[in-house]
Amino acid sequence: MRLPISATEFCDRLIVGADQALRTIFTDPAGSGRTNPSASVNTDTISDAERRQAARLMRVNHSGEVCAQALYQGQAATSRNPELRIQLQHASDEENDHLRWCATRLEQLHTNKSLLNPLWYAGSFVLGATAGALGDKWNLGFLAETERQVVAHLDDHLARLPESDDASRAILIQMKHDEAKHATDAVTHGAARLPAPVRSLMRMGSRLMTRTAYWI
């Protein structure tokens, strides 16, 4: 039986979440310390047209990682399971790696992050907090379904990247590996299968973000 979260503890979690939000959106958040997969890849082999296409795709991926960070923070804020919160924090650290790698690649591609990242973060945090409040199996189910959809999204972007952009490709391949593992871990720990209408709504929200962040 999980004990309710006290008002003091919940406020503490919100303060930590607010700090993480500022770091995610405006600074360089700490990750797990892993080396950027593109560190040893030549980044100067693509044409201007290819650079513009890669930049738009990587801006979407960066915004996706902003959303992922917000989801994990929201889930952790309302979860009553200490073990699950540790699992969420570990996944969050790996998502911060992705966030930093994507930000570095955007700088290399001479483009900006999405101007709507604060909006993506706020909406995703609310979704995560709602999932966390519903209990462990639904919290984990939301995590697993999110990661499954992210893997499908990354497959699409890997197919759309310019063939010469080995740096972005190296980042996305490692991200895909991590996201698939997060989904598997969630299922192993008892994730419930979300109802079909919920999965469809999640895909619709994801499409809204990806299509907007591609341009803005």
**All residues at 6 or more sequence positions from 60 whose CB lies less than 8 Å from its CB, including other chains:** 114, 157, 209, 210, 213, 214
| Segment (H or E) for 185 | helix 166-188
Residue 3 has pLDDT above 60, yes or no: no
Instruction: Report the alpha-carbon distance of residue 1 to residue 143 in Å, rounded.
Output: 22
Q: Does 16 fall in a domain? A: no
Provide the whole-model pTM. 0.86
**Least trusted range by pLDDT, from 71-80, 98-107, 152-161:** 71-80
Q: Does 134 fall in a domain? A: yes
Q: Does 46 fall in a domain? A: no
Q: Does 179 fall in a domain? A: yes
Helix axes 196-213, 117-133, angle to 10 degrees: 160
Percent of the chain at pLDDT above 70?
Answer: 85
For 88-125, what is each residue's pLDDT tens digit?
A: 877 778 888 999 999 999 999 999 999 999 999 888 88
Q: Does 23 fall in a domain? A: no
Domain range for 196 is 54-213
User: Tell me, what CATH number does 139's domain have?
Assistant: 1.20.1260.10
Q: Does 182 fall in a domain? A: yes
Residue 1 has pLDDT above 50, yes or no: no
Confidence of residue 189 (pLDDT cuts 50, 70, 90): confident
How would you label 151-187 residue by residue, b for 16+ Cβ within 10 Å and e otherwise? bebbeebeeebbeebbbbbbbbebbbebbeebbebbb
Domain count across the chain: 1
Q: Does 92 fall in a domain? A: yes
- pLDDT score at 62: 94
